[in-house]
Structure 1
Amino acid sequence: MMFLIFIAMVAMICINVPIAVALAMAGVIGLLLNEGTGSLVNIALDMYNGSTKFSLIAIPMFVLAGAIMNAGGITDRLINFVSAIIGFIRGGLAMVNIGVSLFFAEISGSAVADVAAMGSILIPQMKKRGYSKELSAAVTSSSASLAIIIPPSIPMILYAASSNTSVEQLFVAGVVPGLLGAGGLMIVAYIFARRYDLPTEEAFNMPRLRETFMDALPAFALPVIILGGIFGGFVTATEAAGLAVIAAIVVAAWYRNVDFKHLRQAMLDGGIQTAVVMLLVAASVLIGGFLTRAQIPQQMASAILEITQQQWAILLILNVFFLVVGFFLHSAAAIILVVPIVIPLVTAAGIDPVHFGLVVTLNLAIGQQTPPVASVLITACSVARANIWEVSKVNIWFVGVLLFVLFLCTYVPAVPLFLVEYFYR
């Protein structure tokens, strides 16, 4: 029965039925066949309760903070500052792109928001300076996926809600892998710059660095408030999201450079993005209820544990599984659909749920770069007006960096968990 329901759900998605609707219909069909019409009485209440968890409030807050940041001229000042630091290196503009994504990731938590904001500014500049449109799109796309690795991260919030894991610990676990990923992407960008003799941006100039630092100094308050508050244990992730919005408003007002038209459009886009996620969360309650009552996750866990009980082998199986899922599902849908199924297996195998959450997030960051879904890559290609398959030929080297970080974090748990152990255990 489960197989037939899964086939029906995939068929609905293939004919462009919205994923949330397909999930909800699959859940309703499963409950109806498994328990009869009596199980459908509380559907609306269950969906409402599932989508109103306190931790989920952080999602629209971080999206709004990112919109205010971009519309308030904060992004431009960060670009100027990062350019003053590393613009003298060959291919410096590509590295600026990656470096600014690090800052933007610490505000928005959304890779699509990152690539839309950064790409519209930096891709045209890269093309003017001799970068191919394929390389410009690849750098922008791959660096944008840092937004779901470095805190705050919307997929991490969804994972925490789906697995009853601490979102604060997940955020802390993402710091070191995110920095490693950024460093690796910069190395690949430098190799491309040497190969194609790409230009430097400007000679290193200490007065220029000092000037751009002072200009961007108020913007640095945003990651300090978010990460400092969470790391210090002063606020929860949701409270940090609210503080980020207030801080973004204050900093934008300080610069007196708010583009209200841009802000309005960004807020509308963020509202739509949040609504889509919340519909997915609500729909997941139905499919999750059916799976739990039918004991599907427990059966799957038992079947795999009968094959092997070695953690490394189970992690390898789950990595391959999530990489394949990432080809076909957006990160939010993948987490909501798959995590409740595999959590019993993770628990039975003795795998730390925070460690596994970081592994899932890295897998889905790679999924954002791999067609056919590849939401972030498609957005970057749209901005650069480049063919997705041509961009993918270049992007494969940057995806290789993300794969390296994934397997490093999978089999050396100390990499993501070092800071978690220091702050929380």
Structure 2
Amino acid sequence: MMAVSVILPLMFFLVFMGVPIAVSIGAAALVGVYSLHGVPGFYNAALALFDGATSFPLIAIPLFILAGALMNTSSISRRLIDFVSALIGFMRGGLAMVNIGVSLFFAEISGSAVADVAATGSVLIPGMKRKGYKGTFAAAITSSSASLAIIIPPSIPMILYGALSDTSIVQLFVAGVVPGLLGAFGLMCVSYYFAVKYDIPRDERFDLARVRKTFREAAWALTLPFIILGGIFGGLVTATEGAGLAVVAAVVIGAFIYRELDFSMFLDALREGINQTATVMLLVATSAVLGLYLTEEGLPQMLAAAITGFTNDPFVVLMLLNVLLLVLGCILHGAAAIILVVPIVLPLIQQVGIDPVHFGIILTLNLAIGQQTPPVASVLVTSCSIAKTDIWETTKVNVPFIGVLFAVLMAVTYLPFIPMTLVEFFYR
């Protein structure tokens, strides 16, 4: 089959040659379309490009990206960090705990791990190094905790998966709550273990007056998760409308309540949001052409037939898919991995009876691990650049934290009630 023997190898060849992933996907897809239909096939490809980038749920992606950028350029992130530091900074290894706690808050607003590590890492990593934490440890915990941003709702990868697979984005968000909290608890346990092992001192004593003071300063920032998630889970707004609400709330709080977001800062946030959005949406558009070609070639159906001919056991199928996703996570960015995998494996998971919401959480956890595993490791690279540490040395320190994410992945894969109980309770 040409898709396996020529088109997909061509795409990976272009990627490894340094061609941007979106361009590699688009070029390989156009070669495939031409091989099937000649020049007239390009008309359908143009329509697929347009349709792929204009899905209503995808509008949430640039809006959540912009909300995260607004938090980065205003004082919202700093106020959250100060409050969490006052609340749990007294514990052994307190700054590592603060790092995880701040990521939990930030994850509920931005939906992006890269935005999380950029916002919190620039403050927390230098602070941890000043307190005597090794740079590699500071970079590792910041990177791993930032990946909670794509597990805990709202999540940009979940939005992308939901749009591609026609799965309820709200149900995906609900399914991510328990795995995200389990991941945060596991990361805190590992941090505490290392703090005791290496006798890292407590950073400060608990001061109730400071907690009250920082709470008052961060009170408006703390309303953001309740506004966004409360509206989405309460059925008042869709995920896309919730993303718009996040932007409006970030502007109102940053500009009119805290009065620390001026017009020039807003333009900087807008430019950052546009740059990130352009990258994601170009990937989405070109992937639609690749999906068109693969569907016409029948590759998804062939893969489903081949695997179901070997086994119909959903857990064995999930094991095989986990292996595939973990490998792809090492060499592809999250959006590209979703775009490549979903159109191919969706018929398979439907055929063996795997709930698409359950698979969406498994896919997201695999991507969270991929953000930590070189050579791509987009979140780890960002964290290392802030900490000025070597990526491979940091990876050695990061292995136990990656192990936590892997343990959560295994639990979610083989104990479906972990992600699905809340979904079943509220929506089914």
TM-score of the superposed pair, with normalisation by structure 2: 0.97
Larger CA deviation: 91-100 vs 261-270: 261-270
Counterpart residue number, 2:194: 192
Counterpart residue number, 2:375: 372
Give 1:397's match in structure 2, choosing from 397, 400, 403: 400
How big is the shift at 1:260? 5.4
- In structure 2, relative to structure 1, the CA distance for the partners of 1:344 and 1:271 (3 Å cut) is same
Identity %: 60
Counterpart residue number, 2:122: 120
Rounded Cα–Cα distance in structure 1 between residues aligned with 2:10 and 2:63: 35
Provide the secondary structure at the position in 2 that maps to 1:37.
Answer: coil
Counterpart residue number, 1:268: 271
Q: Which amino acid is 1:221 matched to?
A: T
Q: Which amino acid is 2:324 matched to?
A: F
On the 8 A contact 2:140/2:394 being kept in 1, the answer is: yes
Give 1:303's match in structure 2, choosing from 303, 306, 316: 306
Q: Which amino acid is 1:67 matched to?
A: A
Rounded Cα–Cα distance in structure 1 between residues aligned with 2:44 and 2:405: 43
On the 8 A contact 2:33/2:45 being kept in 1, the answer is: no
Provide the secondary structure at the position in 2 that maps to 1:42.
Answer: helix
How big is the shift at 1:263? 4.4
How big is the shift at 1:319? 0.5
Counterpart residue number, 2:43: 41
- In structure 2, relative to structure 1, the CA distance for the partners of 1:369 and 1:209 (3 Å cut) is same
- In structure 2, relative to structure 1, the CA distance for the partners of 1:119 and 1:260 (3 Å cut) is farther
- Is 2:386 the counterpart of 1:383? yes
Give 1:16's match in structure 2, choosing from 2, 18, 22: 18
- Is 2:92 the counterpart of 1:90? yes
Q: Which amino acid is 1:83 matched to?
A: S
On the 8 A contact 2:109/2:225 being kept in 1, the answer is: yes
Give 1:345's match in structure 2, choosing from 331, 345, 348: 348
Counterpart residue number, 2:316: 313
Q: Which amino acid is 1:55 matched to?
A: P
Gaps of 5+ in 1: none
Rounded Cα–Cα distance in structure 1 between residues aligned with 2:179 and 2:259: 35
On the 8 A contact 1:221/1:247 being kept in 2, the answer is: no
Counterpart residue number, 1:180: 182
Larger CA deviation: 357-366 vs 260-269: 260-269
Q: Which amino acid is 2:13 matched to?
A: A
Matches within 5 A, 1:354-369: 354-369=357-372
- In structure 2, relative to structure 1, the CA distance for the partners of 1:259 and 1:124 (3 Å cut) is farther
Q: Which amino acid is 1:337 matched to?
A: L
Give 1:130's match in structure 2, choosing from 116, 129, 132: 132
Rounded Cα–Cα distance in structure 2 between residues aligned with 1:401 and 1:395: 10
Counterpart residue number, 2:421: 418
How big is the shift at 1:259? 6.0
Rounded Cα–Cα distance in structure 2 between residues aligned with 1:308 and 1:404: 25
On the 8 A contact 1:83/1:201 being kept in 2, the answer is: no
How big is the shift at 1:84? 1.4
How big is the shift at 1:270? 2.0
- Is 2:142 the counterpart of 1:165? no
Counterpart residue number, 1:283: 286
Counterpart residue number, 1:154: 156
On the 8 A contact 2:329/2:337 being kept in 1, the answer is: yes
On the 8 A contact 1:138/1:380 being kept in 2, the answer is: yes
Rounded Cα–Cα distance in structure 2 between residues aligned with 1:283 and 1:173: 29
Counterpart residue number, 2:113: 111
How big is the shift at 1:83? 1.1
Cα-to-partner distance string for 1:255-295 (whole Å, 9 max, x where unaligned): 11226555443332221111011000110111100111111
Q: Which amino acid is 1:237 matched to?
A: A
How big is the shift at 1:142? 0.3
Cα-to-partner distance string for 1:387-423 (whole Å, 9 max, x where unaligned): 0010000000000000000010111111111111121
How big is the shift at 1:44? 2.0
On the 8 A contact 2:109/2:154 being kept in 1, the answer is: yes
Cα-to-partner distance string for 1:157-192 (whole Å, 9 max, x where unaligned): 110111110111111111111111011101111111
Provide the secondary structure at the position in 2 that maps to 1:197.
Answer: coil
Larger CA deviation: 151-160 vs 196-205: 196-205
Aligned residues: 425
Counterpart residue number, 1:240: 242
Rounded Cα–Cα distance in structure 1 between residues aligned with 2:172 and 2:221: 24
Rounded Cα–Cα distance in structure 2 between residues aligned with 1:269 and 1:251: 19
Rounded Cα–Cα distance in structure 2 between residues aligned with 1:264 and 1:131: 35
Rounded Cα–Cα distance in structure 2 between residues aligned with 1:82 and 1:397: 24
